[in-house]
Structure 1
Amino acid sequence: MTTEEVLADELVVLPNRNAELVPNIGIIGGRDAVLVVDTGMGPRNAEPVLEFATGFARGRELFLTTTHFHPDHAFGAQVFRGHATYLVNRAQAEDLAHRGAGYLEMFRGLGPSIAAQLDGVEIPVPDVVYEHGHTLDLGGREVRLRATGRAHSAGDQVVTVPDAGTMFTGDLVETGQFAIFPWFPPHDVAVSGTRWIGVVEGLIEEAPARVVPGHGDVGGGELLTEVRDYLHVLRDETWRRRDAGLPDDQIVAEVRELMITRRPDWRGREWIDTAVACFLAEHSG
């Protein structure tokens, strides 16, 4: 288990240390209960998370939530069955039910090591499903779960700890990485660049002191601003070229080159092409 990063009293992150397909995992404690945010990919990765959370809880009640349904964030939830109450928003529950099996097969196809991590995975089924927002009272500390609406996925959720000024964003935000656009027509076109911009602008207005991204280092509100600015430029450069009548392949190539020139140190360059494709599809509204 990776050494935890303490953010505040009874609030820690198990950091991903920029490892591929490993999310940041949150552990949030109150007087009576503890909430785990995200599980890691598959039972093998989730088991040490549960072990850490159980030790952290010291007999307190356990809850689990996931920021969205993708395998690296949610497909270890079965390990928590019988140990924690699993709660998510309705859109995410529907993602798990209707898209989970397809994503499981897609991730298994990414290579033998990933397939091994997903061995024995059962598609998670939440215990509690809320509509748009849910406040979880851990005892002397409230944690707010909120569905953001369609952006990175249909069922994105942010988790905020108001007394610690901390926001867990899942893959709405990454540090040092191009935004992950799972645009895979015709299998999955839930991601929306235009809606994503609006969601992040709303999060900026909340002015969190600390942001825990889906992947990468914990930071401040500047992480939200970086994502918003990147998405704005990506949209504008894509749409400007579409308005000029350039063919799609040329638009993708030119925008990719521009984005890499601006952010040469960012990881995940493969997501630029899918992001451009998404914005091209959204160009006509």
Structure 2
Amino acid sequence: MSEYPFPDPVVEIADVQELARDVVVIPNRDVDLVPNIGVIGGTHSVLVVDTGLGPRNAETVLAFASEYANGRRLYLTTTHFHPEHAFGARVFAGEATYLVNTAQAEDLAVKGEGYLAMFRQLGEPVARALEGTGIPVPDSTYDGTRELDLGGRVVLLRPTGRAHSKGDQVVTVPDADVMFTGDLAEAGQFAIFPWFPPHDTDVSGIRWIEVVERLVGERPRVVVPGHGAVGDTGLLTQVRDYLVELRDETWARRDSAVPEETIAEEVRALMVQRHPEWRLPEWVERGVGCLCAEWPGPRDQGRSR
């Protein structure tokens, strides 16, 4: 098993940030494989957004959420099926109702075991966090927008369609103007492209741009990314602009019949030059691979957003 070069992926209940009345985030502290986790309250119920990686992290989240709820009913949702976001959900069984969109439930059923095996090979700290993990089965699924009434507050669970994954969803709190994006947006790092052909090719850079463009148009006051610092609409704009430049630089070279390996090297160097402060540049090559597969062929005219 390879050496894991990052801090242990442990959720810590520290520096919990209040975003609005009865809306808080447990920040990921810029630790890899730790997501930002939301807790949203109404008069009779509380919704938890994402679980952390594996049972022990989920137990930490559940303990915090139960204390925060103080007798209110618990719900759980996850922004998408990837392990650090959803693979603690079984801990909530019997304590919370687990709700996800249909496409995400299909991702869990079809790809869950493969991702569990892959993540267990990332290093001993990750494998340890995943001890005892089972693939969760949601209590309830839905298509289209699910309006979840927490009592005096309605939270919207909105599937986006294929983008970062097939089953992405955005969680919004309209009365507080807060949006949880999952890995559709990251702060301070390059966008995560889970492009693993032939095993998983559901990520779509083109659809991802379209989805984030729509979210930018909503102009949320607070944006909670999957990883990294909480921001505002400017964070979504930054993500959109990066995805557009990644597409344009990749396709310009693909138009010229440059080999994909050369495209990946050149585009990675260019993106690191343009964004020297961002983390995890290894995801640039995955993005290039995805966008090469989505290349529509040579074009004479420029491309717009």
User: Shared fold (TM-score greater than 0.5)?
Assistant: yes
Q: How does 1:147-226 map to 2 (within 5 A)?
A: 147-226=159-238
1:37 positional shift: 0.1
1:29 positional shift: 0.2
Aligned to 1:84: 96
1:113-152 Cα distance to aligned partner (Å, 9 max, x none): 1001001101010001001210000000010000000000
State the one-letter code of the partner of 1:215: H
Residue 129 in structure 1 maps to residue 141 in structure 2? yes
Between Structure 1 and Structure 2, how many residues are aligned? 285
Structure 2 unmatched ranges of 5 or more:
1-12, 298-305
Of 26, 38, 47, the residue aligned with 2:38 is 26
Aligned mates of 2:27, 2:52 — CA distance in 1: 11
1:196 positional shift: 0.2
1:141-184 Cα distance to aligned partner (Å, 9 max, x none): 01000000000000000000001110000000000010000000
Aligned mates of 1:254, 1:3 — CA distance in 2: 39
Residue 262 in structure 1 maps to residue 274 in structure 2? yes
Aligned to 1:7: 19
Q: Give the TM-score normalised by structure 2.
A: 0.93
**CA RMSD, Structure 1 to Structure 2 (Å):** 0.7
1:219-252 Cα distance to aligned partner (Å, 9 max, x none): 0100100010000000001000111121111111
SS of the residue 1:250 aligns to: helix
Flag as ranges the 4+ runs of structure 1 deviating above 6 A: none
SS of the residue 1:103 aligns to: helix
Aligned mates of 2:200, 2:238 — CA distance in 1: 26
1:193 positional shift: 0.2
Aligned to 2:74: 62
SS of the residue 1:44 aligns to: helix
Of 138, 141, 158, the residue aligned with 2:150 is 138
1:217 positional shift: 0.4
Identity %: 65
State the one-letter code of the partner of 1:23: P
Q: Give the TM-score normalised by structure 1.
A: 0.99
1:256 positional shift: 0.5
SS of the residue 2:175 aligns to: helix
1:2 positional shift: 2.1
1:13 positional shift: 0.2
